Amino acid sequence: MIDYWCELAWLGGPAAEAGVLISLQDDRILSIRPGCGAPPPGATVMPGLTLPGFANAHSHAFHRALRGRAQASTGSFWTWRDQMYAIAESLDPDTYHRLARATYAEMVRAGITAVGEFHYVHHQPGGRPYASPNAMGEALIAAAASAGIRLTLLDTCYLHGGLSAGGYSPRRGPQLRFGDDSSAQWAERTTQSTSSAMVRMGAAVHSVRAVDPDAIEVVAGVADENRWPVHVHLSEQIAENEQCLAALGATPTRILDDAGLISARLTAIHATHLAADDIGALGSSAASCCCCPTTERDLGDGIGPAPALAEAGSAICLGTDSHAVIDPFEECRALELDQRQVSHRRGVFDSHSLLAAGTSAGYDSIGWPEGGRLAAGGLADFITVGLDSVRMAGTGAATALPAAVFAATAADVRQVVIGGKVVVRDGAHVSIDVRAELHSSIAAVSTP
C-alpha cells in the first residue's frame, strides 16, 4: 500500500478539501480520508492542489506536427485540411510511433492521464494494407505504453472522400490511407485488436461525409456487440450540414439517429452547428458531446451550443483534437469563456463543472468509467498542480478550484500518477525528454 498526503484535493464537490490522505493498492485507490492535518509517517507529500487526471477525449496524434505551421496561413478548415493531409501522407509505423510517443508524453506532462485516439491513418500510401493490417494502430498502442498514458484506440471507419448533392465521392490521394474498402472490411480489421490493462478499444465514424448510412449501422452494431464507446465528428462545419441536407435530405444528427448510432455509448465531437431537434436527439439519448475549444478557435469552426446540450441531457467532455496547444486547463476555461462571448453572461459553467468535463466526463466518454474521480475503488490516476507559480500565488482552499481552472496552465503540473505509478515528477516526465523527442519526431515528418 502507498500513501499520498495532499495539501489540497478536489473530491468532486464545489471546493477543495484540505489534508487528504489517498491510499493506493496496485493501480487502484484503496481509500480516501480528508481532514488529515499532518502527513502520516511514510506518506508521500503532495504540495498544492491534487486533482483526478484529465482525459483527452479527442486526439489526432499526428496533428501535433502542424503546430506553428498551420496557424500562420489564411483560409478555412478546408484549406487547413490540405496541410493535414500532407502530414498524414508522410507517416509510416515507425515515424508515427515516434511522433505519437512524444505527443502523448506532452499530454502526460500537461496532466492528461487518459486519451481517446480518433485513429484513421490505417494503411500505406495508396491504400494498400500493411502486412499487419493494424500496424499503425499498434504503433499508437506502443507509443502510449512508452509514455505511460491510458489509451482508448477509437478505430475509425472512413469509406468515402466526401459528400455533395450528387452523393458520395470516392477517396482520393491521402484519403486512400484512411479507409477500408467496405464497412465489413473495417469491422474485420478493427475487431482483431485487443484490450489490456492500459488500453481499451472503441469505434468511430469519421463523419457523415465519409461514412454512408448503411455503413454507420454496421459501426453501431460492432460497438454495441463489443460494448465499446463510439465517437463521430458531427456538424463541425456549416458546409457539412449543407452537403448532408442536399445529398441525404436530413441533418447529420438525423442520419446518425436513423442508423442507430445515437445512444449513451456515443460521443459527438464538436457538435458546433446543431438544430434544436439535433440537440434534443443527442440529449434525450444521453449521448456525450466533446468540445475542443482551442482547435475550434484555431480552425474558425464557431462556438457550439454546449449549455443547451448539457441542459438536454448530454455530458460535456473535452479534447485537444489538433493539438494547437496541449493544455487541459485552457480547454476547461475556454468552454466557459467562449460561452460568455456568445451569451453575454458569466458563470454559464461553474469551476467544478468545468473540472468534471475535463476529468470524469472524459473518462466516461472513452470507456474508462472507473477513472477521472478521486474515490475509493477508482483508478489511481491523479495529478498535483503547484500553487507556487506567479499565476497561482495567493491561492488557498477557498479559491483553489477557480484559480486552477481560470489561471493555471500545463506548466503548473508538478506530479502525475497513472495506474499508481509516478510518470511526472517535479514537472518532468520520468523517462522521456519531451522537448527533444517532439523536435526530432516532428522534423522527421514535416518541412520547416
* Exposed/middle/buried for residue 6 (C-beta within 10 Å: 0-12, 13-18, 19+): buried
- β-pair type (112-119, 54-59): parallel
Residue carrying the nine cell digits 444528427: 253
Distance CA(261)–CA(278), nearest Å, equals: 13
Look up 270 and say whether it is catalytic.
Answer: yes
Rounded to an integer, what is the distance from CA 18 to the centroid of its chain?
Answer: 30
For residue 97, give Cα distances in angstroms to 31, 86, 125, 327.
37, 18, 17, 22
Residue carrying the nine cell digits 527533444: 436
> 98 and 136 in contact (C-beta within 8 Å)?
no
Task: Give 433's contacts (C-beta < 8 A, 6+ positions apart).
Answer: none
Adjacent-strand bridge partners of 360: none
Task: Indicate which residue of 155, 321, 338, 364 is catalytic.
Answer: 321
Distance CA(246)–CA(396), nearest Å, equals: 55
Phi, psi for residue 245 in degrees, rounded to 5: -65, -40
Distance CA(234)–CA(244), nearest Å, equals: 11
Task: Indicate which residue of 206, 231, 270, 323 is catalytic.
Answer: 270
Distance CA(443)–CA(316), nearest Å, equals: 35
Look up 338 and say whether it is catalytic.
Answer: no
3-state SS, one letter per residue, for 307-376: HHHHHHCCCEEECCECCCCCCHHHHHHHHHHHHHHHHCCCCCCCHHHHHHHHCHHHHHHCCCCCCCCCCC
Which residue from 59, 104, 120 is spatially nearest to 366, judged by alpha carbons? 59
Catalytic residues: 270, 321
